[in-house]
């Protein structure tokens, strides 16, 4: 009989893992969720072989259990699993974006002889729910596992191989606190900074509405992650509290250094600050490697202000079967050379669109580099 994998939480992450398992392995997938509508949808699209709203029924006969729930619910679910009669050789893992806190909670399973291996697939989407699930959501992403030092290498390999087949991600092993510091710096801290900027400008806007009216272009892109789910991010930040406090102290210190340089008119210090930033950013990996923050595939096009100009672009791309996820006329063009913003969910559509528009002699710009270097 095929192994049974229980997916606890059939949303974007759990649904995508389930789809990958069904497409590329021969395991039997059991879906657990509180929403019967989502479970029926998962069954209809072939993401699960069966479903249940009973945690006991989903977990007690499973060989592998994937807790695909928000960080705030993972520890609670681990405690509930510890009260059940799981298979002696069962492996439990999770998908939470913090690991030290969750690995600590996993001790209650390890005390009962159940293997718990922390996990974090480092990719996602601006969409949510099973309706947005894709079997290749994690392709080329990093998938971090944080096994306890006492965990058998054979069990780590078993889980790694299954997840690699299901997700096409690159599995890496990492200590929990290293993971939390890295993710805190590249994801959690940026979310705090973005939300902080939006809140500050929002306060200014109460006195003068031009702050929001002019807050387009660069400001909107810089702060897009500031619109994230409040409850989810509350739980993430509290779960990664120790690392975030250190990171925030370092951030405040850096901002104080820049503030002092501005106050004292230290031109070279300010210039060096931006020089180093520019150099380091240019060293970041390209789009082929998916990071924890979902990349945006968009380009900007200069078009004449005349009837039919937008329709012409849409028609050109439609003829090539290129899907546009969003189209926006830029009223405020601060730092943006093109008047029309085209957004795409997939990089292949983004690249194909640039090629088609360029072939039609249109001026197309991308935001991968500075505007002076980005005309394609």
Looking at the DSSP assignment, which residues form a beta bridge with residue 146? 118
For the chain, what are the domain ranges?
A: 4-174, 180-282, 297-373
C-alpha–C-alpha distance, residues 293 and 364, integer Å: 25
Instruction: Give the residue carrying structure tokens 């925030």.
Output: 248
Indicate if 297-373 has the same CATH topology as 4-174. Answer: no
CATH fold of 297-373 reads VC0802-like (3.30.2130)
Instruction: Give the residue carrying structure tokens 């180093």.
Output: 276
Which tokens go with 120?
């974090």
Q: Tell me what pLDDT residue 335 has.
A: 46
What one-character-per-residue DSSP string does 186-218 give? Answer: IIIHHHHHHHHHHHHHHHHHTT-THHHHT--TH
Task: Return the SS3 of 303.
Answer: coil
Q: Tell me what pLDDT residue 99 has.
A: 96
Q: Where are the alpha helices (DSSP H) in 241-368?
A: 241-264, 267-282, 309-319, 347-359
What one-character-per-residue DSSP string does 30-91 give? Answer: EEE-S-HHHHHHHHHTTS-SEEES-HHHHHTT-SEEEE-S-HHHHHHHHHHHHTS---TT-E
Architecture of the 180-282 domain: Orthogonal Bundle (1.10)
Task: Return the SS3 of 151.
Answer: coil
CA dihedral sign, ordered 206, 212, 214, 218 = positive
Q: Tell me what pLDDT residue 9 has.
A: 97
**Helices 176-183 and 241-264: angle between axes, nearest 10 degrees:** 40
Looking at the DSSP assignment, which residues form a beta bridge with residue 117? 93, 147
Render each residue's pLDDT in the chain as its tens digit; 376 residues.
789 999 999 999 999 999 999 999 999 999 999 999 999 999 999 999 999 999 999 999 999 999 999 998 999 999 999 999 999 889 999 999 999 999 999 999 999 999 999 999 988 766 678 998 999 889 888 999 999 999 999 999 999 999 999 999 999 999 999 999 999 999 999 999 999 999 998 988 888 888 887 776 677 777 877 778 889 899 999 999 999 999 999 999 999 999 999 999 999 999 999 999 999 888 876 555 555 545 668 888 887 767 878 888 888 898 889 988 777 776 544 444 447 888 887 788 888 999 999 888 888 887 654 433 343 3
Q: Tell me what pLDDT residue 214 has.
A: 77
Looking at domain 4-174, what is its CATH homologous superfamily?
NAD(P)-binding Rossmann-like Domain (3.40.50.720)
C-alpha–C-alpha distance, residues 102 and 306, integer Å: 57
3-state percent helix, strand, coil for the chain, nearest multiple of 5: 50, 15, 35
Q: Tell me what pLDDT residue 290 has.
A: 54
CA dihedral sign, ordered 50, 53, 55, 56 = negative
Q: Cα angle at 322 between 317 and 323, to 5 degrees?
A: 110
C-alpha–C-alpha distance, residues 226 and 248, integer Å: 17
Q: Tell me what pLDDT residue 366 has.
A: 75
CA distances from 355 to 84, 315, 352 (A): 57, 15, 5
Q: Tell me what pLDDT residue 22 has.
A: 96
Looking at the DSSP assignment, which residues form a beta bridge with residue 52? 32
């Amino acid at each position: 009989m095929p192994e049974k994998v229980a997916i606890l939480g059939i949303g974007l992450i759990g649904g995508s893992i389930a789809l990958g398992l069904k497409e590329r392995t021969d395991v039997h997938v059991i879906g657990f969720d509180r929403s019967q509508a989502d479970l029926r949808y998962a069954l209809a699209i072939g993401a699960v072989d069966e479903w249940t709203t009973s945690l006991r029924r989903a977990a007690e006969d499973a060989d592998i259990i994937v807790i695909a729930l928000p960080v705030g619910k993972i520890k609670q679910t681990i405690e509930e699993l510890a009260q059940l009669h799981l298979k002696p050789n069962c492996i439990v893992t999770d998908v939470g974006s913090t690991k030290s806190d969750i690995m600590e909670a996993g001790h209650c399973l390890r005390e009962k002889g159940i293997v718990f291996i922390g996990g974090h697939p480092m990719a996602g989407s601006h969409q949510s729910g099973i309706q947005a699930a894709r079997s290749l959501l994690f392709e080329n992403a990093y998938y971090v596992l944080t096994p306890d030092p006492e965990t058998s290498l054979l069990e780590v390999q078993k889980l790694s191989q299954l997840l690699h087949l299901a997700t096409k991600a690159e599995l890496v092993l990492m200590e929990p606190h290293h993971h939390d510091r890295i993710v805190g710096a590249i994801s959690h801290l940026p979310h705090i900074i973005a939300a902080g900027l939006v809140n500050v400008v929002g306060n200014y806007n109460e006195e003068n509405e031009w702050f929001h009216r002019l807050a387009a272009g660069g400001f909107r892109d810089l702060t897009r992650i500031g619109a994230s789910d409040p409850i989810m991010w509350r739980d993430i930040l509290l779960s990664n509290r120790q690392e975030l406090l250190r990171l925030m102290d370092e951030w405040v210190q850096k901002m104080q250094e820049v503030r002092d340089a501005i106050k004292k008119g230290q031109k070279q210090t300010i210039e060096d600050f931006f020089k180093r930033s520019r150099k380091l950013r240019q060293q970041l990996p390209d789009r082929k490697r998916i990071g924890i923050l979902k990349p945006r595939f968009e380009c900007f096009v200069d078009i004449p202000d005349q009837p039919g100009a937008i329709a012409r672009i849409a028609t050109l791309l439609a003829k090539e079967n290129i899907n546009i996820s969003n189209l926006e006329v830029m009223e405020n063009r601060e730092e943006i050379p093109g008047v029309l913003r085209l957004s795409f969910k997939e990089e292949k559509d983004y690249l194909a669109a640039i090629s088609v528009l360029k072939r039609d002699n249109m001026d197309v710009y991308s935001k991968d580099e500075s505007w002076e270097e980005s005309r394609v």
